[in-house]
Structure 1
C-alpha cells in the first residue's frame, strides 16, 4: 500500500454557500441588533407566568424528581423529560401573540432599511 500524500484539502462547493448568511440568520441578527429579541423574551416570560405555565412546570419537575429520587436524577434527565411537556403546555394564545409580534417586526422597516 502506498502512503497518503500531504496536500491541501480539495475546495468544497458547500463552503461558498456557508459564507452567505441564511434568511433565518439575518432575521436573528436584526432581532438582536434592534433589541426586539430581548423584548420578545420578556413578553414570553410575562405571559407564561400570567397563565400559570411556570408554576405547572415547576410542579412537574418536583413530581418527576420525587418519582425518580433526588440521587438518581441529573439535570440532563430532567431537561430531556420536561422540555417536550413544557413546549406542549404553552397556550396557543401566547404562541399566537408572539407570532404576531414577530410578523409585525418582519414587516417593519427594522428588517429591510
Structure 2
C-alpha cells in the first residue's frame, strides 16, 4: 500500500513540475473582451463614477430607494429579525429591485453610455 502511494505521488509530482502546454484558448482568454475594454475606459475617464452618481440621484428622486427599504423591512418582519441573513435579503429583493427601476432612468443611462462610446471612439 505504501509503495503504491509513493509511486502515484512521484508521478503526480513530476507532472506538476512540467510546464503547461500552451493552448490557443488560453491566449484568447488573456485578451480583454470589448465589455472589459469599455469598463476600463469608463473607469479611467471617471465616467463610470459619474454614471453611478447619476443613477443614485435618479433612483432617490423617483422614490425607488424608499420602496426598496420598505421591501427589506417587510421581508425582515415576515421572516423574523434573527432569522434573516444579508444574502437571503439580497436574493429576495434583487429581482424586485431590478424590475422596478423606471424605464426613463434606464433610457437616460443608456443614452449617456452611448454618448460616451461615441466620444471615446470605441
TM-score, normalised by the number of residues in structure 1: 0.91
Deviation, structure 1 residue 111 = 4.3
Larger helix share, 1 or 2: 2
What 5-or-longer segments of structure 2 have no aligned partner? Answer: none
Larger Rg: 2
In structure 2, what is the equivalent of residue 36 of structure 1?
Answer: 47
Give the TM-score, by structure 2 length. Answer: 0.85
Note the C-alpha offset of 1:10: 2.0
The ranges of structure 1 where at least 4 consecutive aligned residues each deviate by more than 4 angstroms after the TM superposition are none
Higher relative contact order (CA 8 A, sep 6+): 1
- Superposed CA RMSD: 1.5
- Separation in structure 1 between the aligned mates of residue 74 and residue 44 of structure 2, nearest angstrom: 40
List runs of 5+ in structure 1 lacking aligned partners.
none
Q: Find 1:79's aligned residue among 90, 107, 112.
A: 90
Q: How does 1:1-113 map to 2 (within 5 A)?
A: 3=8, 4=11, 5-6=14-15, 7-108=18-119, 110-112=120-122
What SS class does the counterpart of residue 10 from structure 1 fall into?
Answer: coil
Q: Number of residue pairs matched? A: 111
